[in-house]
Amino acid sequence: MTKRVKGPVLTSSSQGCLPSLLEIIDSWETTTVSSGSTSESRVMLSSLQALTNLSTTNTHHNHYTQVIHRLYELLDIANDATCLQVVKVLVNLSCNKDMVPHLLAAKAPECVENLLLPLQTEELVLRWVTFLANVTNTVFNLNLTADMLPTQDKAASPETMYTALYGLDNPTKIKSKVFVLSKHDNEDVRRQATRLYAYF
């Protein structure tokens, strides 16, 4: 697995804020986020930064299952800075093999393939391809199938992240984009793209 996105050392007080931070994400109206309010965007970004720091170890990961669908939703509507922070959280969660079934069971964002396009910012592409490489690595190693996904908070089968990655001709479409990234100027992007390509 790729190493997690690290943050500052956590205190017991910051860890105690986790339920409140998760509630902020879970209760946020998507229309509010997409409206682009500066103050509200700052609150969202600050919350996600704290959640990134708190997700650097597996200790609290079980609490994050309730907001995975929200994190995916944000990828479709939020600005670049917020999307990047969302993906940092997802990368940390994807390093935990026990979280991968939950990541696959949630409703996938519409931008699964678009985030693999070179027109995205380099850091966003790197984080997203790392996330997908971590997830597919676990699927490969554990032989995960759709019927092994947790039923709690599971989206309808055609809408899950599992289907977005493995349904019908999706693997072929993803591989074509990942192949392009395997020739990227950035060495880290190339490395993660090569990892991802190998698991399809």
What are the phi and psi torsion angles at 107 (to 5°)? Answer: -65, 125
Q: Phi then psi for 8, rounded to 5 degrees? A: -70, 165
Position with higher pLDDT, 30 vs 179: 179
Task: Provide the percentage of residues in the chain whose pLDDT is more than 90.
Answer: 72
**Per-residue tokens: 8:** 């500052």
pLDDT tens track for 66-121: 999 999 999 999 889 999 999 999 999 999 999 999 999 999 999 999 999 988 99
Q: What pLDDT does 3 receive?
A: 55
Q: What is the 3-state secondary structure (H, E, C) of the chain?
A: CCCCCCCCCCCHHHHHCHHHHHHHHHHCCHHHHHCCCHHHHHHHHHHHHHHHHHCCCHHHHHHHHHHHHHHHHHHHHCCHHHHHHHHHHHHHHHCCCCCHHHHHHCECCCCCCHHHCCCCCHHHHHHHHHHHHHHHHHHHHHCCCHHHCCCCCCCCHHHEHHHHHHCCCHHHHHHHHHHHHCCCCCHHHHHHHHHHHHCC
Let me know how long the chain is. 200
b/e 173-189 (16+ beta carbons within 10 angstroms → b): ebeebbeebbebeeeeb
76 within 8 A of 116, measured Cβ to Cβ: no
Q: How far apart are CA 21 and CA 15, in angstroms?
A: 10
Q: Which residue in 136, 189, 129, 188 sits closest to 161, CA to CA?
A: 136
What confidence tier does 177 reach under pLDDT thresholds 50, 70, 90? Answer: very high
Task: State yes or no: pLDDT of 175 exceeds 70.
Answer: yes
How many other CB atoms sit within 10 Å of the CB of residue 13?
7
Identify the weakest region by mean pLDDT among 38-47, 56-65, 170-179, 185-194. 38-47
- Predicted TM-score of the model (pTM): 0.89
Residue 5, pLDDT > 80, answer no
Confidence label for 20 from pLDDT (cuts 50, 70 and 90): confident
Helix axes 80-94, 122-142, angle to 10 degrees: 20
> For residue 124, is pLDDT > 60?
yes
Q: What is the pLDDT of residue 141?
A: 96
Mean pLDDT of 39-50: 84
In this prediction, residue 33 has a pLDDT band, given cuts at 50, 70 and 90, of low
